[in-house]
Chains A and B, each alone.
Chain A
Amino acid sequence: MRFTLSQEQALLRDTVARLVRERFGFEARLKTLESAAGFDRDVWREFAEIGLLGAPFGEEVGGFGGGGVELMTVMRELGRGLLLEPYLASVVLAGSLIERLGTPEQCSDYLRPMIAGEALLAFAHGEPDSRYALEQVATRAVATSGGWRLDGRKSVVLHGGEANTLVVSARTAGAQDDEKGIGLFLLPCDAMGLSLHPYPTIDGLRAAELELDGVVIPAEAALGEPGTAYSAIEAAVARGLVALCGEAVGAMETCCDMTLDYLKQRKQFGVTIGSFQVLQHRMVDLRGLLEQARSMAILAAGRLDGERAERERAVSAAKNLIGRAGRTIAEESIQLHGGIGMTWEYALPHFAKRLVMIDHLLGDEDHHLDRFVMLERAASAAPPLSAVN
């Protein structure tokens, strides 16, 4: 076992850490929050220049060949600086799907420009009634003479309003909760019949509601074999979960650092509040949670490129633990800051908000706890491996 980063991984981490130090100031963030795009295009360009947008992709598509550990490492650093940029939506989720299912033409038409920082992607999957269930797709894709017609609604599509191309899931067959029968389609953001309603999220990012009303697309817009996308979606979401776990750990580190500094510096009753034993113990508990969270992020990252059962078990376990730890660290760091922890002008509550909202992305702690139980049950019901092989 080795828990240290390789030389290249450490270099990647240091590069991103430097970028975060130099470009992710809190004052600038407050301004960017208010801007039309909601993120900093210059920072995004720098991401492209240092190869960050290609970090998780294979070299054959113009990527950098990184795996789970690289992804977690990058996201952790970005989480420490509380990124606003659409890395999860564009690179991790939509990008992964194109890499996995795309034809060479699709990869060069959509993935390469994204990696180069010239275009943005988003993944439109969730629907008003699907909550966090990946198999719940009501949006329909009906074959027409020259291609497909899409009808339905997509909800809380991360950065849907900023993307040039949307990767949209739609059902070609089956009931609303069948894993089979789900297809993915590449949709330009200005497609006829598509209406987009973008809005800010409470943690400062952007999302959109989508309405697809008789959107007609050519056959080449299908990503992979229509009807068989579920396992690719699951794998892309697993990547998304590793990314979120990494980001959460970064945000937790900042919360813990800021809170510890505050305990050492804030004076009440003539002493620093960090000299009160009850607060010392609370801070120790937070550090304990942080270590647990770090371990789970590492575990999920390390299992990401392994076989499905092991991967899914690890990512669901990680997301559950990190959901719990994130909430506690967010709430406690606000509490230990007192009134100042409640203010917009101060960075800490923004980290806390992101931590709590990460639990609302790609499945919350309850969803992943249930899923963990289900995966266990499925594993023990399955015939022994020897019988399968």
Chain B
Amino acid sequence: MDLHYTPEEEAFREEIRDFLREKLPPELAAKVRGGKRLTKADHERWHAILSAAGYLAVNWPRAYGGTGWSPVQRHIFDEETAAAGAPAVLAFGVNMVAPVLMKFGTQAQKDYYLPRILDGSDWWCQGYSEPGAGSDLAGLKTRAERDGEHYVVNGQKTWTTLGQYANKIFCLVRTDPQAKKQEGISFLLIDMTTPGITVRPIITLDGGREVNEVFFDNVLVPVENLVGEENKGWPCAKYLLTHERTGIAGIGQAKAALQHLKSVAGRQLKHGRPLTEDPTFARRIARVEIDLMALETTNLRVIAEAQSGGAPGAESSLLKINGSVLRQEITDLLRRSVGPYALPFLSELMDAETNQTPVGPAEAAPLAAEYFNRRKLSIYGGSNEIQKTIVAKAILGL
């Protein structure tokens, strides 16, 4: 056993730190640290910076323009970028559709779409869920009927994250209604500007605008936009879901959030003393810190296993469950730390440009909203209940 990073890995960490010092715009980092809402331009800007440095596609092979990094390097990169206050890279293009294209796509699809992800030409969103098909994804009903050189798509997707910014959506559609649930599904790439597509916002409980409903009314999709074979979309869908994503546990973000918690709580007073010195609150912080140490070590164990060729399996479900619960716990403590100042709801203060007068500590404004927003971590991407079922079946053999 050796719990240290190798000298090469430490050197790599320095390299990433230098890059962040040089290239991460301080105003962007300040926005992320202050819990402000990021605009489309903010995301695009950061993606472009990463892309220019060759750091956008951390989990792609070099051949496609990726970094070819090892899992440990990816972990270090995650940790450093989160600690520096860099925006998280949006997963839909880089980490979701790209691996599916690499494995199941035609040469033409790879040649066309992958470079467009790297250079920011395309903003992808994920069209999996439907009103009647959430956890039971295979229950989806959106129809795609072959008509000559096109599929005609009709139906509705929902919960489409940042679909309002996207120009492309990857969808699961039903191409054979007669077949068994999983066997009549296809994986389609759809241009959001095609006539017949309507995007409607769903406002979330925190007042945010990040999810949408997407309606398809006789939308014509060229057959060459099919990925893999017709009716064989389910393996693509599952590959995308179980594809080992860097940072599924959100360690980097959890660490950054814990730092933020300590600094916010350090500036709050309880009986005239910093809240971090209050025994009750200090214990609460200590407990999440210990849980985070455990989770980080578990994560590193899984990564080391992957590094030495072991296939990451249902452990990623455990990481997702523990990671989401831990991050939710940290946002809980953040909202508690500001006491009564969790109450003011000044939505505009969550945007960077505003003339609204702050109330209470400057960093308090987004904390309660963020706590409510982070309830999603245990719901989306396969709810924690569904993850537990996967673990029960795949690891425990129940």
Contacts and interface: CB of A to CB of B under 8 A. Distances in A.
Given A268-B136, A364-B336, A369-B280, A339 B158 contact: yes
Contacts of B341: 155-156
B136 A269 contact: yes
Interface stretch (A88-96, A198-206, A238-246): A198-206
Interface in A202-240: 202-203, 205, 207, 209
Interface of B: 129, 132-136, 139, 158-159, 202-207, 211, 268-272, 280-281, 284, 328, 332, 335-336, 339-346, 357, 359-360, 368-369, 371-372, 375-376, 378-380, 383-385, 388
Contacts of B202: 343-345
A126 B360 CA distance: 12
A201 B129 CA distance: 32
Interface stretch (A9-17, A59-67, A105-113, A127-135): A127-135
B383 A338 contact: yes
Contacts of A128: 360
Contacts of B383: 335, 338
Given A128-B360, A201-B343, A338 B135 contact: yes
A129 B341 CA distance: 10
Contact of A268 (B134, B281, B368): B134
A176 interface: yes
A282 to B, nearest CB: 9
A339 B385 contact: no
B270 A343 contact: no
A101 interface: no
A199 B343 CA distance: 10
Contacts of A207: 343-344
Contacts of A334: 205, 375, 379
Nearest to B210: A342
B379 A341 contact: yes
B368 A202 contact: yes
B375 A360 contact: no
A279 B385 contact: yes
Contact of A201 (B280, B339, B345, B385): B345
Contacts of B207: 344
Contact of B342 (A133, A199, A360): A360
- Can you list the 7 inter-chain pairs with the closest CB atoms, starting with the nearest? A349-B205, A202-B345, A344-B203, A268-B136, A156-B340, A201-B343, A131-B339
Nearest to B207: A344
A136 to B, nearest CB: 8
Q: Which secondary structure dominates where chain A touches chain B?
A: mixed
A305 interface: no
Nearest to A126: B340
A268 B372 CA distance: 25
A199 B360 CA distance: 12
Most chain A CB within 10 A, of B280, B340, B346, B368, is at B340
Contacts of A155: 340-341, 359-360
Contacts of B204: 342-344
Nearest to B328: A331
Interface in A172-202: 176-177, 197, 199-202
B18 to A, nearest CB: 39
Contacts of A200: 344-346
Contacts of A357: 342-343, 368
B311 to A, nearest CB: 27
A209 B79 CA distance: 39
A331 B135 contact: no
A376 B391 CA distance: 45
Contacts of A353: 205, 372
21 contacts: A129-B269, A136-B271, A155-B359, A176-B272, A200-B345, A202-B342, A203-B343, A268-B136, A270-B139, A273-B135, A279-B385, A334-B379, A339-B159, A342-B205, A342-B375, A342-B379, A343-B203, A344-B204, A356-B368, A356-B371, A370-B280
Contact of B340 (A132, A136, A269): A132
Nearest to B135: A268
A375 B79 CA distance: 45
A197 B359 contact: yes
Most chain B CB within 10 A, of A126, A131, A203, A209, is at A131
A344 B205 contact: yes
A366 interface: yes
Nearest to B383: A338
Nearest to A334: B375
B343 A342 contact: no
B134 A129 contact: no
B280 A177 contact: no
Contacts of A350: 205
A202 B369 contact: yes
A169 to B, nearest CB: 15
A278 interface: yes
Given A269-B139, A339-B159, A344-B203, A129 B272 contact: yes
A176 B284 CA distance: 27
A361 interface: yes
Contact of B379 (A339, A361, A366, A370): A339
Contacts of A364: 336, 339
A177 B340 contact: no
A345 B200 CA distance: 13
Interface string A347-358: 001101100110
Given A357-B368, A360-B342, A370-B280, A341 B375 contact: yes
A338 B376 CA distance: 8
Contacts of B269: 129, 131
Interface string A296-336: 00000000000000000000000000000001000100110
B271 A132 contact: no
Most chain B CB within 10 A, of A270, A335, A359, is at A335
Contacts of B332: 327
Given A349-B372, A356-B371, A338 B343 contact: no
Nearest to A339: B159
B339 A132 contact: yes
Nearest to B369: A202
Nearest to B332: A327
